Structure 1
Amino acid sequence: MNIWGRLLVRNFSWKPFKTAMIGGELSKTYEEAVQALNTLQSNASVLEKVKKDRGKQQENNIPDVLSFAQRAGVTVQDIDNLSIIHVSGTKGKGSTCAFCERILRNQGYKTGFYSSPHLIEVRERIRINGKPLSRDAFSSYFWDCFHNLESSKDEFEGKMPAYFRFLTIMAFHVFRQEQVDVAIFEVGIGGQYDCTNVIRKPVVCGVTSLGIDHTSILGDTVEKIAWHKAGIFKSGSPAVTVQEQPGKSMEVMLERAAEKQSSLSVAPKLEMYDWQGLTPELGIPGELQHLNASLALQLSHNWMANHNKNKSDLIENDTQNEMELSTSKDEVAIAPAFSITPSVADALKSCFWPGRNQTIKRERVTYYVDGAHTPKSIEQCVHWFQTVSSTEAKGVKGDVVKVLVFNATGDRQPETLMEPLLPLQFDYAVFCPNIGTISTTCPDRTNFMVTKGTQLSRCIKNRNVWLELMNNYAKMKTAGKNGIMQPNVDIAEEVPAKQIKLNSDSIVANQNGLSYGNNQSDSALEEKDPLNDLSVKTLTFPCISDTLVWVSQGKDDTINSSSNNILTSPIPQTLTSATHIQVLVTGSIHLVGGVLGVLDPDLTEC
C-alpha cells in the first residue's frame, strides 16, 4: 500500500481539538499568531545540520507533511476535494499564479491563492479573492491548526511542522473552510519533494521558465532541476509549460509526463491568441510576463474546461486550433490558442503582483524594485530597468543619479547576478542585508535561519564581488577603437571578507552603530566621465531603512532612519546636488519585501 493509503487507514489515538474548546484562544492577536509561527523556524545551526542530511530526508517530506496535516485536522480527502491549479518552475511562478487568480476571479469564481515568500506580512501568502487574509482571519485559522498540532505533539515525540510546512497545511484548511471554487498553489522549492506536492488530484499543473537555482537542493543542471519541477505532474491531469526551456529540460519533462501518465503541452506565444481587436496589455511589466500570461491563460482554460460550471464564459474555443496533446517522449505539442474575451483581457491588464518590475515614484526619487534572483530573471530586470529609467530620465531637467541597492542570499553565486548589471553604469552600488531596521524587528520578517552577522558578512562578500567585476569591466572598456587593450590601472581593490570596517567609500555596521571611513574628497570622482571611467563607489549598510535614508538624501521625507548619523556623515556631492535619483533594488525577493515595507507598508492591502 502506498503512503496515501497508509495515511488514510492509519488509526491515531487522539482527537483534534477545536480552537473554540480552548477558552479565549480566538481572542489572541495577529502578532501573537506570528510570534508562535516563528517558533517553527529552524535556527541557523539546526538548518546547517538539515542541509547536510538533506538528501536522506527529502523523500520523507511528503509523508511527514501528510502526517502533520492529519494532526492539524486536515485529511487527505480534504485536500483531494479542493479544485487545484498547481504551479512549479524557477522564475515566474508567482506572476503566473497571480494572472490565473485574476482571470478566474474576473469570471466570478471565488479564488484561493497560496504563494511564497511574503513581502511585508505573512498573511500575504494565503489570499481569498486576491486579498491577503485579514489579521483576525489569519489569527483564527492559525490557532485552529496550531492548537491541534500542539495538543498532539507529545504522542509524536514533540514534533511540530517547520514554518513552510505549517503554512501549507494552514492554506489547505483555509481554502476548505472558505469553500473556494479554485485553489491556486505555488510550489515552494522544486516540486517532487515540495510540501505542496501532497496534492494528489490537481485539475491542471503548470511549469514556468526553468533555470539554475537552489542547487544544493535540486542539483546543478537544468535537467536535474526539471526532474524536480515536473514532480508535480499527476496521472490524468494535463500539464502545460512555456516555450524556450533551457538545455534538455523539455525532454526530461516529457519523460516525467509519460512516466506519470500525464500529458504535457507548451503554451503558445501571447500574440498567437485571437484578441478580437483588443490590445494585449499586462499589468505586470517585463518581457518574461508574456510567457507567464500565456501559461496562465492555458491553466485557466484547462481549469474551466474541467470545472462543473459554464465552460464558455472564460474563453471562446477556437475549434480550428484544437489538437490532440502528445504524451510522447520525443515531442511536445503546442497547446491550442483561442479567442480572448474582454473580461480576460481586462484581467491580464489589471493584474498586480508586488515586487516584480514595480515602480514607486516620489517627487525627486524613483524606486524600481524587482525580486529577480536568478541569472535569467536579472537579465530581464536589466532590460526593464534600462527601458523605464531612460524614459524617465529624458523628462528630467537636470542631473539624474543611478543607485543600485543589492543583496544575494542562500547558495546563489553573486557574480552571476551582478555581471548583467554592470552595463547599467550605476553611480553608486549599495549593499545591505534583508533587515528592515536595527532598532526594531518586524515579527513577520523575523528570520532565525541566518544570523545578523552572517547576513552582514554576505553583504561584504557581495560588495567585494562587485568591486572585482567592476575592475574587470573597466579594463575591458579601456580597449581602443582598434581593439588593442590599453594599459590597465586597477580602479577597485578587493576588501577581505573578514574585514568589518571597509575602505573610505564604505559605511558599515560595528558595535557603535555606523562608522564612515576617512573623509575622502568626492571631487576626483566628480570630474571623471562615467562612460570612460567606470569606477563606482560602493557602500555597505547594516539595515534597509538606513540604506534608503542615505540613498534618497532627504529627497523622500517618508523614510525615517534608525541611526542618527546617516545624513550627517560625509555625503557625495553627486547625490546631494542630483535633480533626481533612480534606485534599482534587486537580487533578493526578501530585500525587495523589506524595501517595500519601508516605502509602502500598506502594500498588503493591494
Structure 2
Amino acid sequence: MYLFKARWSVTHLFMRRFSRRTYGDAIAELNSAIRNITFSKVVDHERMKREKYGVVLSYLEALGISDLELSNLHPVHVTGSKGKGSTCAAVEAGLRNLGFRTGLLSSPHLISVEERIRIDGKPIDRDRFSEVFWDIHDKIAKHVRTLALPPPSFLHYIVLMACHIFVSEKVGAAIFEVGIGGRFDHTNFLKQPAVTVVTNIALEHTDLLGPKLTDIAWRKAGIFKKACPALIPEDLPADVMQVFVNEAKQVECPLYMVPRLEDISLANGGLIIEDAEFAPLFRACSSDAMPLGVINLPCSLAVMELWLQSFGKVKQSHEIGLQPPLRLQVSRAQVQSAVTARWPGRWQKVSRGKITFFIDGAHTLESLQKTAEWFQYETSKEDSRPSARVLLFSLLGSRNPDTMLRLLRTVISPVFDLVVFVDPHDKQFVVFPGKRSLDAECLETWEALKTETALIDEYGTTAYRVQDLSAFLCWLEQLRRFSRTTLSSYGEVIDKENVQLLVPSPQTVAGACSVPVWDKQYASCHVLVTGSLYLVGATLKALNEPV
C-alpha cells in the first residue's frame, strides 16, 4: 500500500505576506502543497487514518466547525470505481429540485479548481474561492505553529473549503465524492453521514487499493458509519458482497442493495419502466446506448429515498446488516431530475462545425467498454453518410495501456482513421504524484498492436503524440475534408531534447494535399475523447465548452 507522505516547510508555506490575497496566489499556494507530496510504502492503517483524514478533524476544530454543524449538512458520502461523479450529480439535482439547498464536493476538476465546490448546482466563483482559501489559510497557520499540526495538503484545503462554504451557506444536503478508495480518503472525516454509497466495484488504482476486488471493496466499505444506512450494488460477486456485509455488521449499520430498475414504482402507482412518459426512453435504450442518468437511475433514486428516511421524512430502519430489498415509490420529479442531471465530461456530445466530439472519462476497462459501445451506437445514429473517425486518448499513472487500447481496436468498427495520444496536464497546476502521462507508452503499445494479424486494418491507422492539444484541435477544425492522408499530415518530429509539433501547411488545411485513390474523403468527423478525466477537461477547455 502507499501513503501520501508530506514534507513541509512551515516557514515556506505560511510565512507569506498576508496582503497577497488573489486567486492566482491561492493557486500558487495550492501548487506548493502538491509539490511537497510524495509516495511512500506503508501498511500502518492507524497512521494512514491520522495523516489522511484524522488531521481534518483537527483542522475543522481550528476553524470552529463543529460536529453538529457537519451533521446538519445531512451529508451523502459516495464512493465507487465508476459512476460516483454522475451519481453525485443526479442526487444533488434530485434533492435540489425537492427544495433543499445543496452543496457538492467532487473531484477531480475538469478545467478550474473551483468546480470542485458547488452550491445549488453551480461552482463557486473565483472571488469566493480566493476569499475562503485565504481565510482558512490564515486560521490554520496559527494552529500549525501552536499545536504542531502539519500544514494542509491540496486535498485537505479543498475539503476544508467545502465544509466552510457548506456551513456558511446553510446547506441542507451536502454530497461528498470520495477521491480514491474511501477508508483512508481525505473525505472520510464524516462521523454521521445521512447515507453512504458504493456505486460500483472494479479493478482500479490497484497500486494504492490492492490487486483484488475484495481489497478494493474493503477500502470502499470503510466509509460505512454506525447507524447510517449504506447502499451497495446488487450484482456483486459473493466474496465481494461478504466484505460489505462484514463491514456493516462490524460498524453496526443497515446495508441495502440498489434495486433493479424493473422494481421501482412511481408514487402515484405503476412501474416507471411502464409509465407513458418514461417507458419510451427505457425501450429505446439498449445497454450500450442508455443515457448516463438512466444507467445510474436506480442507485440515484435509492440514495434519495434513504436520505429522505434519514432526514425524518420517511420511516427509517434501525436494523444492522443486510436488509430486505428496497421497494421504492418515487415521484415523477425525482425521476426527471436524475435522468436529466448534467455532469460534464461523461457521455457528452459537443459539435463544432463538421466535427462532433464524443467525450467520456473512462479509466477502467469496464468503463471503457461502455464508452466504446456508446460511441458505436451514437455514431450509427449521427448520419447516414460515413464520417472520419479520430481517437484522442490519454492514460495516467501506473495503468496498463495494452488491455484498454486492445479493447478499443476490437470494439470500434469501422476502425479509427487517426489515433492521437495526449499529455493532458494543465501547466497551471503541478502534477499530482502518480499522475504521470503515459502518452509515450500508449503510442508504443498501439504500434505493437498494429502488427497483430487479427487487429490489422488494410491500410493501417496513423498514430502520434500531441503536446499542444489546443493547437491540434484548432488545426482539425480548419480542415475542409477529412481523410487518412490529411489527418496524418499533422505530424511530429522528435529531436534529442523534446517533442516539437510540425506547423500545418496551408495546403494541408485546405485539404489540397495529394490523396491516394484508396483513401476515402469525408465531409464530417467523429472524435472520441476518452481515458483520463484530465484529457476530458483539457478538451472541454480547448473547445471553450462550459462545465
If the TM-score is normalised by the length of the shorter chain, which range does it land in? 0.7 to 0.9
Moved more, 373-382 or 152-161: 152-161
Moved more, 385-394 or 411-420: 411-420
In the alignment, is the contact (CA less than 8 A) between 2:79 and 2:182 conserved in 1? yes
In the alignment, is the contact (CA less than 8 A) between 2:34 and 2:431 conserved in 1? yes
Give the Cα separation in 2 of the matches to 1:451 and 1:82.
Answer: 33
Could you say which residue in structure 1 is the equivalent of 2:302? 298
Could you say which residue in structure 2 is the equivalent of 1:417? 404
Cα deviation digits, residues 237-268 of structure 1 (max 9, x gap)? 11112222246211111111111111111111
In the alignment, is the contact (CA less than 8 A) between 2:94 and 2:337 conserved in 1? yes
In the alignment, is the contact (CA less than 8 A) between 1:119 and 1:593 conserved in 2? yes
Could you say which residue in structure 2 is the equivalent of 1:387? 377
TM-score by length of 1: 0.74
Moved more, 221-230 or 241-250: 241-250
In the alignment, is the contact (CA less than 8 A) between 1:114 and 1:126 conserved in 2? yes
In the alignment, is the contact (CA less than 8 A) between 1:428 and 1:537 conserved in 2? yes
Give the Cα separation in 1 of the matches to 2:346 and 2:242.
Answer: 30
Could you say which residue in structure 2 is the equivalent of 1:259? 250
Q: Shift of the alpha carbon at 1:201?
A: 0.2
Cα deviation digits, residues 308-364 of structure 1 (max 9, x gap)? 5x55xxxxx9xxxx9x79745xx66422132x3232132123210000000001221
Secondary structure at 1:585 match in 2: strand
Query: Are the structure 2 counterparts of residues 226 and 159 from structure 1 closer, same or farther at C-alpha, using a change threshold of 3 Å?
Result: same
Match of 2:366 among 368, 371, 376: 376
Could you say which residue in structure 1 is the equivalent of 2:420? 430
Give the Cα separation in 1 of the matches to 2:324 and 2:256.
Answer: 5
The answer to whether 1:196 aligns with 2:121 is: no
Secondary structure at 2:221 match in 1: helix
Could you say which residue in structure 2 is the equivalent of 1:466? 446
Q: Shift of the alpha carbon at 1:564?
A: 8.1
Could you say which residue in structure 1 is the equivalent of 2:169? 178
Match of 1:147 among 124, 138, 142: 138
In the alignment, is the contact (CA less than 8 A) between 2:450 and 2:460 conserved in 1? yes
Could you say which residue in structure 2 is the equivalent of 1:566? 503
Give the Cα separation in 2 of the matches to 1:249 and 1:555.
Answer: 52
Give the Cα separation in 2 of the matches to 1:380 and 1:298.
Answer: 23
In the alignment, is the contact (CA less than 8 A) between 1:549 and 1:566 conserved in 2? no
Provide structure 2 residue ranges, at least 5 long, that are not aligned to the other structure: 1-16, 266-271, 482-499
Secondary structure at 1:195 match in 2: coil
Could you say which residue in structure 1 is the equivalent of 2:40? 51
Could you say which residue in structure 2 is the equivalent of 1:250? 241
Query: Are the structure 2 counterparts of residues 82 and 570 from structure 1 closer, same or farther at C-alpha, using a change threshold of 3 Å?
Result: same
Could you say which residue in structure 2 is the equivalent of 1:483? none
Q: Shift of the alpha carbon at 1:579?
A: 0.7
Aligned residues: 490
Q: Which amino acid aligns with 1:249?
A: V
Could you say which residue in structure 2 is the equivalent of 1:221? 212
CA RMSD of aligned residues (A): 3.1
Could you say which residue in structure 1 is the equivalent of 2:535? 591
Cα deviation digits, residues 381-427 of structure 1 (max 9, x gap)? 01100000121142x3xx51101110100122212322221131111
Q: Which amino acid aligns with 2:155?
A: F
Give the Cα separation in 2 of the matches to 1:542 and 1:117.
Answer: 21
The answer to whether 1:31 aligns with 2:24 is: yes
In the alignment, is the contact (CA less than 8 A) between 1:72 and 1:146 conserved in 2? no
Moved more, 113-122 or 564-573: 564-573
Give the Cα separation in 2 of the matches to 1:54 and 1:405.
Answer: 38
Give the Cα separation in 2 of the matches to 1:595 and 1:555.
Answer: 21
Q: Which amino acid aligns with 2:327?
A: P
Match of 1:408 among 395, 398, 401: 395
Amino-acid identity (%): 31
Cα deviation digits, residues 517-567 of structure 1 (max 9, x gap)? xxxxxxxxxxxxx4xx273211111132133234445469xxxxxx88432
Q: Which amino acid aligns with 1:600?
A: N
Give the Cα separation in 1 of the matches to 2:424 and 2:58.
Answer: 33
Give the Cα separation in 2 of the matches to 1:451 and 1:553.
Answer: 36
Give the Cα separation in 1 of the matches to 2:147 and 2:338.
Answer: 47
Provide structure 1 residue ranges, at least 5 long, that are not aligned to the other structure: 1-21, 312-316, 478-490, 492-529, 557-562
In the alignment, is the contact (CA less than 8 A) between 2:197 and 2:303 conserved in 1? yes
Secondary structure at 2:361 match in 1: coil
Alignment of structure 1 residues 145-544 onto 2, 5 Å:
145-155=136-146, 159-246=150-237, 248-274=239-265, 275=272, 276-279=275-278, 286=290, 289-308=293-312, 327-328=320-321, 333-338=324-329, 340-394=330-384, 396=385, 399-423=386-410, 424=412, 425-436=415-426, 441=427, 443=428, 446-449=429-432, 455=437, 458-472=438-452, 475-476=453-454, 530=457, 533=458, 535-544=460-469
Give the Cα separation in 2 of the matches to 1:70 and 1:29.
Answer: 26
Q: Shift of the alpha carbon at 1:593?
A: 0.5
Secondary structure at 2:358 match in 1: strand
Secondary structure at 1:429 match in 2: strand
In the alignment, is the contact (CA less than 8 A) between 1:429 and 1:536 conserved in 2? yes
Could you say which residue in structure 1 is the equivalent of 2:473? 548
Could you say which residue in structure 2 is the equivalent of 1:581? 525
Cα deviation digits, residues 148-168 of structure 1 (max 9, x gap)? 122333335573111112101
Cα deviation digits, residues 435-483 of structure 1 (max 9, x gap)? 35xxxx4x3xx1243699x53xx211111112223332xx126xxxxxx
Q: Which amino acid aligns with 1:150?
A: A
Q: Shift of the alpha carbon at 1:286?
A: 4.1
Give the Cα separation in 1 of the matches to 2:480 and 2:249.
Answer: 58
Secondary structure at 1:373 match in 2: coil
Query: Are the structure 2 counterparts of residues 451 and 251 from structure 1 closer, same or farther at C-alpha, using a change threshold of 3 Å?
Result: closer
Query: Are the structure 2 counterparts of residues 569 and 591 from structure 1 closer, same or farther at C-alpha, using a change threshold of 3 Å?
Result: farther
Query: Are the structure 2 counterparts of residues 158 and 85 from structure 1 closer, same or farther at C-alpha, using a change threshold of 3 Å?
Result: closer
The answer to whether 1:41 aligns with 2:52 is: no
Give the Cα separation in 2 of the matches to 1:53 and 1:569.
Answer: 56
Secondary structure at 1:471 match in 2: coil
Could you say which residue in structure 2 is the equivalent of 1:480? none
Moved more, 565-574 or 259-268: 565-574
